[in-house]
Amino acid sequence: MLVHKAWSSSWSRWLIIAGTVFLAFYQHLLAVRSGLITFYALSIITTIWLVKVKSYRIAVKLSLCLCLLPILSFICFPTFRNRFHNTREDIGQVDQIRSADNYSLTGRVYSYKVAMRVVKENLWVGVGNVDMQQELARQYKETFPTIKTTSYIKPHNQFIYSLVAFGVVGVLFFVACFYYPLIWSWPQHTPLLIAHYCIITLSFLAEYTLETQIGLTFSLMFLLLALAGLTSKSDQDGLWTPV
């Protein structure tokens, strides 16, 4: 919005800037790992786009902000600082199987290993949603018997989850259908649609997003919002729109 000067008055511009700065710092205050990864991934994509359209000055400013933001957040926000130290400690426990009972990232790593053993036995069509929990529990007991039963979790990855449930055939069908709108919209310039697909795809790598009501609603709402903008004539008024 700032690059395209999508505002009607000077106060609107400052409102956009203030809102952007607030939301950026608020994301670091929350210190959710997947949210921060998404934030920086989209920021890097935006920087590359700015260079491509020859907005070098704004690209340099954004790059400097991306360098300063985590430093300021580390100094100012205990939540961000604690998340950084906790993540380092969590990663350091991956080789300790029993740590899966107490560390979230370690637990996810072992859930992926268990899930892939299930996939090897049911490669093409999977085991189905109904039998997934039972099959995962069986593999946990056989492969990692030291992990407590209460620590058994489904793989926090939408692609692996779908691979376990529906096999290779189901994953290929899911990917083709889910990403078809992005292919259909190409080569139209659709920042909102591209950004949302980036957010959702990164979310897929850390969660089984579409298996929860919140995740499914979030994904569909913003995808349909962007697609509705593509199929409407809302840009005939001469103003830039994100779709």
> Which residue reads 């700032």 in tokens?
2
pLDDT computed for residue 95 by the predictor: 85
Asked if the model's pLDDT at residue 2 lies above 90, the reply is: no
Distance CA 56, CA 68 (A): 18
Structural domain contains residue 82: yes
Structural domain contains residue 128: no
Mean per-residue pLDDT over the chain, rounded: 89
Asked if the model's pLDDT at residue 233 lies above 80, the reply is: no
pLDDT computed for residue 240 by the predictor: 63
Q: Tell me the mean pLDDT in the region 99-115.
A: 90
Structural domain contains residue 211: no
Q: State how many domains the chain has.
A: 1
**Contact at 8 Å (CB) between 227 and 190?**
no
Structural domain contains residue 172: no
pLDDT computed for residue 211 by the predictor: 92
pLDDT computed for residue 237 by the predictor: 55
Asked if the model's pLDDT at residue 199 lies above 60, the reply is: yes
Structural domain contains residue 84: yes
Structural domain contains residue 231: no
pLDDT in tens, 63-87: 999 999 999 999 999 999 999 999 9
pLDDT computed for residue 176 by the predictor: 95
Distance CA 62, CA 43 (A): 8
Structural domain contains residue 137: no
pLDDT in tens, 219-232: 999 998 888 877 76
Asked if the model's pLDDT at residue 188 lies above 80, the reply is: no
Sign of dihedral through CA atoms 199, 33, 143, 148?
A: negative
pLDDT computed for residue 103 by the predictor: 87
Which pTM was predicted?
A: 0.86
Structural domain contains residue 7: yes
pLDDT in tens, 14-63: 898 899 999 999 999 998 898 999 999 999 999 998 898 888 888 999 99
Note down the domain range covering 52. Answer: 1-91
Distance CA 95, CA 168 (A): 29
Asked if the model's pLDDT at residue 238 lies above 70, the reply is: no
